[in-house]
Amino acid sequence: MGEIFNDTNTNKLLKQIDEDLKKELSEKRYKHSIGVMNKAEEIAKIYDADVNKAKLIGLAHDIGKELPKEEKLKYSIENNLGVDEIEKINIGLLHGKIGADICKKRYGFTQDMQNAIIYHTVGNKDMDLLAKILFVSDKIEENRSYKNEEKQVKLEEARRISKENIDKAVLFLIDMSLEYTLKKNELIHPDSIFTRNKIIINLQ
């Protein structure tokens, strides 16, 4: 089962993480992290998930996001995190693996919490409920908005779906991401495809 995060040690950790993020992230990224924490708490309550774990991963998920590219690559190699062919080209994707490793070593996050942080960007076919909550919360937290009217309408739809079916919300957000990634002719990480297929199979 791993460590149990009760209200007392969770609040202590949240305070420590909050102090670290204020030093290590930009104001915009810090604000996003607070937004994800709040949204993760909200969704965790809907689906009867571990609220304390949801808040912790929501707050900490982007702790490795703003490391320079060369530092991301160096950290990943030195800590044996694994770098696949897509991540070698799109180094920004490594921030999930880096964040999970930092949270393991610095805050004692359990394996399911680490996995959620690793998976939060492109998804993973083995995502559990906690990971799905973070994946969705990251993309629909209240600070998110789009100038593009079509994308904003879809964002609002994702927020609605998130309250009804977490799997459908993950699928909707993956499809939304794939649509715009294809339009920009950018690389698609295969984990997004594997995640999409697994959810479609499960929903049938």
- Beta-carbon contacts of 133 under 8 Å, excluding residues fewer than 6 positions away, are 40, 43, 44, 47, 49, 54, 116, 166
| CA-wise closest residue to 136 among 52, 31, 36 | 36
Cβ neighbour number for residue 133 with a 10 Å cutoff = 33
Confidence bin at 2 (pLDDT 50/70/90): very low
Rounded to an integer, the average pLDDT of 115-137 is 98
Q: Is residue 2 part of a domain?
A: no
Half-sphere exposure of 92 (CA within 13 A, CB side): 6
**What is the structure's pLDDT at 3?**
65
pLDDT exceeds 70 at position 190 = yes
Task: Check: CB of residue 154 under 8 Å from CB of residue 189.
Answer: no
The CATH number of residue 143's host domain is 1.10.3210.10
Q: What percentage of the chain has pLDDT greater than the value 70?
A: 99
Per-residue pLDDT averaged across 97-124, rounded?
98
* 12-68 pLDDT, tens digit each: 999 999 999 999 999 999 999 999 999 999 999 999 999 999 999 999 999 999 999
Only one residue has tokens 């204020």, namely 22
Whether 1 maps to a domain, the answer reads no
In a domain, 154, yes or no: yes
DSSP 8-state symbol, 19: H
Statement: residue 1 has pLDDT above 60: no
153 has pLDDT over 50: yes
pLDDT tens-place string over residues 167-186: 999 999 999 999 999 999 99
| pTM score of the predicted model | 0.96
The structural domain count of the chain equals 1
111: containing domain: 7-203
For residue 128, give every residue at least 6 positions away whose Cβ sits within 8 Å of its Cβ, in sequence order, or none.
112, 115, 116
Q: What is the pLDDT of residues 53-106, one digit of tens each?
A: 999 999 999 999 999 999 999 999 999 999 999 999 999 999 999 999 999 999
Give the pLDDT score at 70. Answer: 96
Residue 145 CA to residue 155 CA, distance in Å, equals 8
Residue 15 amino acid letter: K
**106 in Cβ contact with 56 (< 8 Å):** no
pLDDT at position 4: 77
Which pair of structure tokens corresponds to residue 38?
A: 């709040």
